[in-house]
Structure 1
Amino acid sequence: MEEVLLISRFMTRTLILLSLCFMWVPPGVVCRTGNASASSSSSSSSSLKPKVINIGSLFTLNSVIGRAARPALQAAIDDVNADPTILNGVELKLVLHDTNCSSFVGTVEALQLMESEVAVAIGPQSSGIAHVISHVVNELHVPLLSFGATDPTLSSLQYPYFLRTTHSDYFQMYAVADLVDLFGWREVIAIFVDDDYGRSGISVLGDALAKKRAKISYKAAFSHGDPKSKINDLLVEVNLMESRVYVVHVNPDTGLNIFAVANALNMMSGNYVWIATDWLPTYLDSMEAADPDTMNLLQGVVALRRYTPDTNLKKSFMSRWKNLKYNGSASPAGFNSFALYAYDSVWLAAHALEVFLNEGGNFSFSKDPTLHVANGSMLHLESLHVFNGGQQLLSTLLRMNFTGLSGQIQFDPDKHLVHPAYDVLNVGGTGMRRIGYWSNYSHLSIVPPESLYTKPPNLSTGSQHLYSVIWPGETTAKPRGWVFPNNGQPLRIAVPNRVGYKEFASKDKGPQGVRGYCIDVFEAAISLLPYAVPRTYMLYGDGKRNPNYNELVSQVAQNKYDAAVGDISIVTNRTKIVDFTQPYMESGLVVVAPVKEAKSNPWAFLKPFTKEMWFVTAAFFLFVGAVVWILEHRINHEFRGPPSQQLITIFWLVFLTHLCPLLNRWLLFI
């Protein structure tokens, strides 16, 4: 008990001393026990926040898109660094690498870029290079913001770190399909560059046209570096085909060669339809001034351009455009829409990095355990590091929502920018005029897309409108869109070669080889068509006996003949395999007689009677007379008497009952 009391007393004294120590505070010191942990966390967070964050960029500097994107990227970096309301003193630094329009060079440049430990990579503009570089950023967990790679297949789950800051060609191809459907064309010819960008876009176009009950009748592909002679051979082959509606999906740097060759081949005249994707407005917008020679090549072309609202923010940037300086150059390249998307890509990265850092994101890099350095290797793969906060930053990018130069920057669940829309343009004179808009919300319209977002979507056929189009050949009349191919075969028309009723259809020595009433009706119908129909008449049958009409119809169904003209009856079993025109006459029981009056012959009614028929008729008369005599001989006294009298009576009765009606008809005939 004493030991317990001593311990308790000791503990009491100790607690008193400790309480006195805590109660004593040195002069000038303020205690904030409630915020101690917050203060510690804040100091720790600020100490971990980097002073400089590298933003990588990968694209072809010497290109139509690259010459506009480069000053836009640098201007965006300068604007972010000059804005005190974002990133709170953290400086963005642009690390620029040139892919030189090569997948191999792009891969090497991407690896060199990753050595700089960038948080975000911007670019590339080429879809083919984007496919390769996406594998690099996937491995190192670095988000890739592309302002120019529009290949629809890049949005797949295979490339989780690829994020497109422009609109996918998926939407553009559906806009093209709506244009084709609006004008009622059913076949198009696709002319495209043979790479990932061209092939994937045309593949989507085929799917979009199929939903409109149309199709791509021929795919004309060429390589990026093909000379004009090879393009000439390609267009000559295309010009021999039936369709006259061409969809051109190429690169802006070389696409103009298509129209230069087409103009030389007289394919920019009437009855031709040319639809260009956004590459053409990109090229024309980048020109310092309209070139008359270039514009003359493009008269009547319909093109699509990515739509960006005319906001004050956009107008302010465009007013600064000519005053931007980069690397001592007093005037950067011509402006195009890709400059807006490149500028917004930097601001998207800046907004996401600010949220990432405020949420305590881990801005650090670590070695990739899958990258091993081989003995004697000069690749230095050990310098490539994985961004530890890449997954968190990617999630932050996907939930960003702000208004940029190009419009609303927000992503849907499929990682597409919301509200995809396009201007529909018509090249004429010395420039381009807008004839309408296309949006994924309401499709073709003459009203700006943003004014329709507050209304219910209207996709009905009657709501699809565009202003009038001036087509190639300076005509406002809608081109038919097809012709009979120069390398095609004329229609094979089968004509029954009958023995009788040759007035309907028969063989003739004239240039057509056939004649008759059915042929005249068919030729009259052909003459009403607004275009020529090459045709060849082919006799079916030997002319010695009537052909089998069921076999004739079957051969039309089997495509041996394209059609048949003649006195072919419409019966049930035939309608199951071929289509018939509406009957142009009803026969019934009629007499076919020549229109020209001929000399009457009173004995014409006797012509059908043959010798055998006369013998049968005489025998029939005798038989009838004998039957009458047998029945009347016993009860009728007129049939009695001498045999000569009985014979006269019998013949007279037969004459009255059979020959008199025939004689009356003969008298009426003459």
Structure 2
Amino acid sequence: MDKVGPLWCFLVFVFIFTQTAKINGSTNTKGNDNVMGVIGAIVDNSSRIGKEERLAMKMALEDFYYRFNQSLVLEVRNSQGQPIQAALEETSLVAEVGSKSDIPIFSFANTTPKWAAERWPFLLQASTNEFNQMKAVAAIVESWEWQRVTVIYEDRDSSATSVLPHLSNALREVGAEISQLVALAPFASSSLSKELARLKEGQCRVFVVHLSLSLADKLFEMAKRMKMMESDYVWITTDPVTSLVHAMNATTISNMQGILGVKSYFPETGGHFKEFHRRFRKRFRSEHPEENNHEPDIFAAQAYDAAWTVALAMRESNKVPPLLLEKVFHSDFHGLSGKVEFIDNKLVSLNIFQIVNVMGKSYRELGFWSYGHGFSENINENAAYNSSMKVLGQVFWPGGPWYTPRGWTLPTSTNPLKIGVPAAANFKEYVKVEYDQFESNISYTGFAIDVFKATLEELPFYLPYNFLPFNGTYNALVEQIQLKIFDAVVGDVTIVAGRYQYAEFTHPYTESGIVMVVPVISKTSNRAWLFMKPFTMAMWILTGVINFYNGFVIWLLERNNCPELKGSVLNQMGMLIWLAFNTLLSTNGNRNFVSLDHASNFTLIDLDGKGARLHSNLSRMTMVVWLFVALVIMQTYTANLTSMLTVQHLGPTVTDIETLKSSNAIIGHCSGSFLSRYLVEVLHFNPNNIKNFSSTEAYAHALKNGEIAAAFLDVPLANLFLAKYCTGFTKAGPTYKVGGFGFAFPRGSPLLSSITEALLKVSESGQLRELENNMITSAKCEDVEPDKETPSLSPNSFLVLFILSGGTSTIALLVYILRVDRSILRHKIMWRVMRTIMGHWGSQKRRFSRRVSDLAENASNSSNTFELRNQV
């Protein structure tokens, strides 16, 4: 196939309808009495598009004749490969013909100026709508998260006034932007190498190509020669190139490997299209044997539909010009290219585009993009849509990498980044700029510098840079990026909305927020329940339980020996409770409930100077351990309570900003920061009551001597300040949410996303936290160690004592129970023995009585009573 002719969208394709068969003074009716008129067209006969359009129009008029037996004559003027000449031809024809009788004129040229449509309402725009196509391009850019693109276009007014604004707006909607525009002359190829060399030195690697196929062919040939069709490059072509990808020769396809293309879609289905397709391929092969591919594309389908529209309107209007124009405006049918309908003198735009990927000897159809829906693998009622192109599968990128190009790279020039650093930072721990004695060498240290260096180590590429000091406010420092004096800013720079007009920021590397720092004062510890604080609640409960248990054991052991522990049930319960809990007071009271007499015997009750001694050794053992535990507990309680009463409790002098404002107090903040505006506009402080300071020492001095009542600091700076002045100051009030510290880069910088990703890796690995801890630790406290609040004591502190006391009482209780059981058993045995003895004695007595009775009876019968008595 010969190289395709000049840019198709600059070709003027005009239909002229006349009531006569004259054009340029000639008549050609071919002997047909049913000739309705002549259709004139200006095309480039040498271009692929011109060839397809000319054949398609001829076929449309032939089909119209076969259906309605009415013919139209097609007269074609050759633009001879000169799109500018074609445009001039169109203008002259519109002025000459259209102005006479409102004859409708179709233009397939994207070069049709806006003023032409306004001046000539009979001029109909039949070209593809560029707006939807640019939306498709922007959707591709959004899918792969590219942020900047370079647009290469042909140097004509039409692209600058229609295509470029559409593309710019579409990219802005998805968070991207055009980094630069490269205009190429339509016929000049000498500047290609120069322009491509300049692009290669830049950072952007995503190129949108909006050129004619002939110029695009030269562009990609040169790009391949300059190794710009390799890894990390992205090329996206628009409809003028992509719609002809099926007709490209092998050399052109080889030069375009890996490009993505947006192609106008039309349904290649239905019996009508299949018949057209068969006939078109046969005739195109016959008329243009020089072409390798004979498939029709969108341009042929649109040309066929346009010719059919005109012919049908002429038939229905009887060639009356005003009625003819009206019939064209009301066209509504489904043609080869889709639905044919005009709104505001323009053909209804296509809403579906095909996404193709050039690879191998041809191209692969990845899927579709539909306006208002997104990407899908097919077009039908059940199609699944997604906003990301990633659902269409793997893309073959230039150079053949499996990973997705990031869309940018470092500039090939060796110039390192110029990074601005605040030379007069308030907190040297964050940024410290030091000059040597000759002021020839400058050292940059601090937490912010360390974090930035750690971030660069996480980048997958080497990034050269130079630190440069800056003396001025932080707002002025960030503004230097917009002025292109600095390429970035590193330091304790707060991320605030007002600075986004100059630069963009990375993810914050510190905690965000503003806090109020105030001096502390002593507070009286006069709390109603302070007496309970020496012990925890668990300690109080366990103490009560063990005392009640010990009291119960003593009561049980001594109740039979002590009359005071007897009586009614109510009296015994009262004595039990009294005995249990009075033991704690017995170690310090003047009148002991349990005391030791002169004979070293324990006395239970000594309220009136009289006592009852403990009679059981078990009771004495239990009491000794109990008194020891009670002594330790009471002494510990007394000491802890005394400590709590005498320790100094500190609190903030001011607890909220309303107190500061109502008292008209003076407050302070860092010099050069954004806080001055924030304190006035957001927190509504009187600007006359605000002072700025340039060092931590100045803050501390002003707060101590009462020069200011409070200082407002960023949270990370406040933490550092309180680490250095660990007593005497504290945070007060809420934390006001603002951005933390971040690194600043130019708006739209391709470095920003990589730096942010690397910074997150530093944070997630724990290295950021380690650097921050090292900074806080290095800030040695200049005050004495603060008094810590005395903690409440828990049962863990007395666990051994409680086990000793409880265990002793338990042992005594068990011994007592065993003794009682044995005594009861012994009494039962003795009773059984006595009962046995008494039973035996009773039987003997009864036998003796019976014997005596028998003898007496015998004696009455005997005369010798004296002998009987002797026997007895």
Q: Which range, TM-score by smaller chain?
A: 0.5 to 0.7
Does 1:424 pair with 2:355? yes
Does 1:94 pair with 2:67? no
Q: 1:399, CA displacement in angstroms?
A: 1.0
Counterpart residue number, 1:372:
none
For the 8 Å contact 1:270–1:479, the answer to whether it is kept is yes
Match among 139, 148, 158 for residue 99 of structure 2? 139
Match among 62, 72, 95 for residue 78 of structure 1? 62
Task: Tell me the amino acid that sits aligned with residue 263 of structure 1.
Answer: K
For the 8 Å contact 1:507–1:539, the answer to whether it is kept is no
Task: Tell me the amino acid that sits aligned with residue 493 of structure 1.
Answer: G
Does 1:555 pair with 2:477? yes
Task: Measure, in 1, the Cα distance between the counterparts of 2:304 and 2:381.
Answer: 25
SS at match of 2:343: coil
Q: 1:100, CA displacement in angstroms?
A: 1.9
Match among 20, 36, 39 for residue 52 of structure 1? 36
Cα distance change on mapping 1:532 and 1:314 into 2, 3 Å = farther
Match among 164, 174, 187 for residue 225 of structure 1? 187
Counterpart residue number, 1:185:
146
SS at match of 2:214: coil
Cα RMSD after superposing both structures:
3.9
Does 1:209 pair with 2:171? yes
Cα distance change on mapping 1:470 and 1:158 into 2, 3 Å = farther
Match among 489, 500, 519 for residue 449 of structure 2? 519
Task: Tell me the amino acid that sits aligned with residue 80 of structure 2.
Answer: N
Cα distance change on mapping 1:208 and 1:318 into 2, 3 Å = same
Q: 1:273, CA displacement in angstroms?
A: 1.0
Task: Tell me the amino acid that sits aligned with residue 449 of structure 2.
Answer: I
For the 8 Å contact 1:151–1:201, the answer to whether it is kept is no
Cα distance change on mapping 1:165 and 1:561 into 2, 3 Å = closer
Q: 1:240, CA displacement in angstroms?
A: 2.2
For the 8 Å contact 1:437–1:446, the answer to whether it is kept is yes
SS at match of 1:475: coil
Q: 1:151, CA displacement in angstroms?
A: 5.7
Task: Measure, in 2, the Cα distance between the counterparts of 1:512 and 1:275.
Answer: 47
Match among 710, 720, 734 for residue 587 of structure 1? 720
- What is the 5 A alignment of 1:290-309? 290-291=249-250, 293-309=251-267
Match among 322, 325, 335 for residue 281 of structure 2? 322
Task: Measure, in 2, the Cα distance between the counterparts of 1:263 and 1:350.
Answer: 47
Task: Tell me the amino acid that sits aligned with residue 65 of structure 1.
Answer: I
Match among 404, 410, 424 for residue 484 of structure 1? 410
Task: Measure, in 2, the Cα distance between the counterparts of 1:162 and 1:131.
Answer: 11
SS at match of 2:141: helix
Q: 1:249, CA displacement in angstroms?
A: 0.6
Q: 1:308, CA displacement in angstroms?
A: 0.8
- What is the 5 A alignment of 1:249-288? 249-287=210-248
Q: 1:571, CA displacement in angstroms?
A: 11
SS at match of 2:243: helix
For the 8 Å contact 1:147–1:341, the answer to whether it is kept is no
Alignment deviations for residues 47-71 of structure 1 (CA, whole Å, 9 cap, x no partner): xx96432121211111121122222
Q: How many residues align?
A: 474
Does 1:401 pair with 2:332? yes
For the 8 Å contact 1:75–1:343, the answer to whether it is kept is yes
- What is the 5 A alignment of 1:243-642? 243-287=204-248, 290-291=249-250, 293-312=251-270, 313-324=272-283, 334-335=294-295, 336-357=297-318, 363=319, 389-413=320-344, 415-448=346-379, 451=381, 461=387, 465-486=391-412, 490-494=417-421, 496=423, 505=432, 507=434, 513-539=443-469, 551=473, 554-559=476-481, 561=486, 563-565=488-490, 568=492, 581-583=508-510, 586-590=719-723
Cα distance change on mapping 1:161 and 1:561 into 2, 3 Å = same
Task: Tell me the amino acid that sits aligned with residue 401 of structure 1.
Answer: D
Q: 1:301, CA displacement in angstroms?
A: 0.4
Q: Once the two structures are aligned, what percentage of the paired residues are identical? A: 24
For the 8 Å contact 2:35–2:71, the answer to whether it is kept is yes
Cα distance change on mapping 1:551 and 1:345 into 2, 3 Å = closer
Task: Measure, in 2, the Cα distance between the counterparts of 1:245 and 1:426.
Answer: 15
Task: Measure, in 1, the Cα distance between the counterparts of 2:65 and 2:496.
Answer: 81
Task: Measure, in 2, the Cα distance between the counterparts of 1:247 and 1:569.
Answer: 36
Q: 1:551, CA displacement in angstroms?
A: 3.3
For the 8 Å contact 1:64–1:252, the answer to whether it is kept is no
For the 8 Å contact 1:150–1:169, the answer to whether it is kept is no
SS at match of 2:244: helix
Alignment deviations for residues 339-397 of structure 1 (CA, whole Å, 9 cap, x no partner): 1111222111122122112xxxxx3xxxxxxxxxxxxxxxxxxxxxxxxx333212111
Cα distance change on mapping 1:535 and 1:132 into 2, 3 Å = farther
Q: 1:193, CA displacement in angstroms?
A: 0.7
For the 8 Å contact 2:477–2:489, the answer to whether it is kept is no
SS at match of 1:75: helix
Alignment deviations for residues 384-434 of structure 1 (CA, whole Å, 9 cap, x no partner): xxxxx3332121112112222212222234523254321111111111111
Q: 1:564, CA displacement in angstroms?
A: 4.8
Cα distance change on mapping 1:51 and 1:178 into 2, 3 Å = same
Task: Measure, in 2, the Cα distance between the counterparts of 1:571 and 1:102.
Answer: 55
Q: What TM-score do the two structures reach when normalised by structure 1?
A: 0.62
SS at match of 2:215: coil
Alignment deviations for residues 434-467 of structure 1 (CA, whole Å, 9 cap, x no partner): 112123342433331x6379x9xx8x84799533
For the 8 Å contact 1:272–1:481, the answer to whether it is kept is yes
Cα distance change on mapping 1:139 and 1:467 into 2, 3 Å = farther
Cα distance change on mapping 1:441 and 1:284 into 2, 3 Å = same
Task: Tell me the amino acid that sits aligned with residue 484 of structure 1.
Answer: L
Q: 1:259, CA displacement in angstroms?
A: 0.5
Q: 1:156, CA displacement in angstroms?
A: 4.1
Cα distance change on mapping 1:570 and 1:269 into 2, 3 Å = closer
Task: Measure, in 2, the Cα distance between the counterparts of 1:102 and 1:299.
Answer: 29
For the 8 Å contact 1:247–1:276, the answer to whether it is kept is yes
